[in-house]
Amino acid sequence: MDARAGEAETHLRRTPPSDLRGRSATFTLTSASAKWGYEVQMDDEPGWTLGPAFVADAATGTVAGLVSAHRVLSHTMSCVPPGPHTLRVRTFDAAGVRAEPASAQWTQHAPTAMLAVGMPPRVNPGADHWVEVRSDGAKYAFELRVDDGDWVLGDAYGPASAKKTAAAAAAAGLGGRSGAGGADLGISKFTESPRMERQRVRAGAEGRHALEVRALDECGNRGEAVQSEWVSSWVATVVVEAAPDGEALLADSASFAAKGDTPHYFVEHSLDDGAWVRSRKTSAAATPVRVRLAELAEGRHTLAVRALDAQGRAAHASQQARFAWAVDRQPPVTRVGDGGVRRERDAGLGMAGEAMVTVVPYVVTDATECTVEYQLGRCAGKNPQCCTRPFLS
C-alpha cells in the first residue's frame, strides 16, 4: 500500500559519501512507526528488495522481523561495481503501508594502483628490475602487462607454483600468471593496505617499453592502470654541454661535451648524417668528451651524438642527442622576381578613383631565413608614394 497522510517518513541517518573507494557501500536508517521494516531499490532494478533482516510470508502477505520505532538499522551492499549509483529506500509499517522513498547518490571507485618504485629511465636489455606496487584499496591484488601484452597477475598472489613465469608471460617479460579477477583468479590472499608488494619486470629487447599496472579488489573490480616507461639500452647519452640548436651562427665552428652513464664508455658524433666519429675510451671518473667542429660551411647543419658502452654497444636511437643550426656569415641575396616590372591598377591607396602603380617584385634569400617577396609600387598622380607589401612565398 502507498503511504497515508501522517505516516512517518523514511529517515536515512548515514549514507555513502559522494565519492567512495572500495567494494561495499553502507547506509543506516530509522523510522518512527511502531513496528517497521524496509526495502531497497538500486539504480535501475525493476523492483524493490526486502531488507536482509526481514522475511516475507507469501501466504499471509505479512513480514516477520519488524523492528520497533526509532531503532537504527544498518544496510551494507557488497561488491558494488564502479560508477555512479542511486539508492532508494522506503520503510513500511506492520499494516504494509509504505512511506515515501528516501534516496542517496554516490560514485563508487575501484582501487587505484600506484607505483611506489617504477622502472628507471634506462635498463640494460634483458635485465630484471624490481618495481613496488601499492593501492588505496583496503585489500587489493594487482595485474600488470608490458607493451600492450596480456594482463598477468602479480607474483605475490596464488600458490607458489603459480608464481613461476609462464610462457606467455615470459614473452612479455613478466613473472606471474594470467587470470580473470577476484575469486576466479584463485588468489589465496589479498594484500592489505598500506603494505606494498614487489614485482620483477624484465627489461626486454633494445627499444622503448611501457609497464602498466592496475589494482583489483576482492570482487574483481579493476581500477585505472598506471604506467611506467623506460628504454632498454646498453648505455644512455648524457649531454654535458649542448651544441647549438635552432640558432643562426656567425661563427663557422660549434662544440659539445657528452658522456655515457656506464663505468667506461665511448662517444660518437655524426655531422650532417655523415660517418660516425668515435672518441677514445673514457671512464666515468674522467672529464666528459669534448668535441669542437671547425670550418663549417655556410648553411644548415645537423649533429647526432651517442654514447657507447665499453663493449662498443651504441645507445638506442631514443637515447641519442640531436641538434640543428645554421652558419650564416653571408649577406642575403636579392633578385628581381618572376614576371619582371609591371603596371597595375590600385584603388587602395586612399586617392580618388583608381591609381596606376608600377610594381617591381623581388625575392630575398638567405641561409637561415625563409624566402620573402616584396612589392615596391609608385602611385600615379601629383603626389607619388612608395608602398611596400611583404608576402611569404
Q: In 158-255, which residue ranges form alpha helices assigned H by DSSP?
A: 167-172
The pLDDT tens digits of the residues spanning 286-322 come to 889 999 999 999 989 999 999 999 999 999 998 899 9
In this prediction, residue 232 has a pLDDT band, given cuts at 50, 70 and 90, of very high
pLDDT at position 392 is 30
pLDDT at position 381 is 39
C-alpha cell at 251: 661563427
The pLDDT tens digits of the residues spanning 126-173 come to 999 999 999 998 899 999 999 999 999 999 986 543 443 333 344 444
- State the Cα–Cα distance between residues 184 and 295, nearest whole angstrom: 70
- State the Cα–Cα distance between residues 253 and 291, nearest whole angstrom: 11
pLDDT at position 383 is 36
Q: What are phi and psi for residue 50, nearest 5 degrees?
A: -65, 140
User: Reduced to 3 states, what is the DSSP secondary structure of residue 160?
Assistant: helix
User: What count of other Cβ atoms lies within 10 Å of the Cβ of residue 226?
Assistant: 18
Average confidence score pLDDT of the chain: 82
Q: In 146-301, which residue ranges form alpha helices assigned H by DSSP?
A: 167-172
Threshold 0.75, pTM exceeds: no
